[in-house]
Amino acid sequence: MRTAFIKTLCQAAATDERIWLLTGDLGFSVLEAFRERFPDRYVNVGVAEQNMTGVAAGLASCGKVVFTYSIANFPTLRCLEQIRNDVCYHALPVKVVSVGGGFAYGAQGYTHHGVEDLAVMRSLPDMTVVAPADPVETELATRMLIDTPGPCYLRLGKSREPVVHTERPDYAIGRAIRMREGKDATLISTGGMLQHTLGAAETLASKHGIQTRVLSMHTLKPLDAEAVRDAARQTRGVATVEEHSVTGGLGSAVADVIAGMDEPHAPLHMYGAPDRLDPRVGSQAYLRGLAGDLVGTVRDLLGGTSA
């Protein structure tokens, strides 16, 4: 995803002189392509993310479209006050890019686990929040966020995420992509969990006869509420899948929509990181696995059958 992001940003910057890139002394082996082509629009502010956000706000107030870039929690939680007051308060076109969302930096411990960022960023006023599933969605999202008014948050992985989309999807901010049809249950995935979600859907079909609809919900804000309501009306169970705390992220956003439905609807399960401080470290796969068995979760949600 990182490579797709910087390649797309360089292509856009070649024809749009408004685009700037700021980093908090991170992104080595990734951001050099932009720095070498556009040295006058690239700033390494050092390990000073609050200052990075303030500088970005100043540039944006002068008509620039500014991307800030750092690891996991650093461009979000560390400088939250500056994002809230300097950027959101003035509705400035600052695009915050977090690399390594979820457990991509799992071996470095809780300080580097990005498991609250979606909750925090979607709580900010007028903030567009996007978590693409693969390099294809990353490219499309990056292009669209350049022209999306106001502040935006782009959450990326870092672990050589595979291409999931075999062809370019019909992509739009705020509209889910239906990856698979199914009448029994719906899995709503965000970010890099899409491949895992599709794998679970295949297992449910081949081994248990459960036909599962799969949605790539790449935009958490604005959420595709109609796709959620359709899932809750048309299938017997809905599960959200995210590499994030079950509190405040995709699951909470979907729950808000379902809670507002007047008609009968399917039950909801939120699959993600448990809502507790977990000091464990390990690989991304190991930490993801602490959420439990997704196939078993869907079977339990439906009572174990497709009928």
Give the CATH number, domain containing residue 269: 3.40.50.920
Give the CATH number, domain containing residue 105: 3.40.50.970
**Model pLDDT, residue 171:** 96
What pTM value is reported for the model?
0.96
Query: Which helix (H) or strand (E) segment is 68 a member of?
Result: strand 65-71
**Model pLDDT, residue 306:** 54
Which residue in 49, 137, 242, 243 is the catalytic one? 49
Domain of 103, in residue numbers: 2-156
- Co-location of 15 and 136 in the same domain: yes
Q: Is residue 172 part of a domain?
A: no
- Co-location of 26 and 123 in the same domain: yes
**pLDDT tens, 114-160?**
999 999 999 999 999 999 999 999 999 999 999 999 999 999 998 68
pLDDT, mean of residues 168-189: 97
- Among 156, 187, 204, the domain-final residue is 156
- Burial of 246-266, coded b for 16+ CB within 10 Å and e otherwise, reads bbbbbbbbbbebbeeeeeebb
pLDDT, mean of residues 13-19: 98
**pLDDT tens, 252-272?**
999 999 999 999 999 999 999
**Model pLDDT, residue 63:** 97
Q: Is 161 annotated in the active site?
A: no
The total number of residues shown for the chain amounts to 307
Identify the residue with better confidence: 276 or 138: 138
Count of the separate structural domains present in the chain? 2
CB atoms within 10 A of CB 285: 11
Burial class (CB in 10 A: 0-12, 13-18, 19+), 139: buried
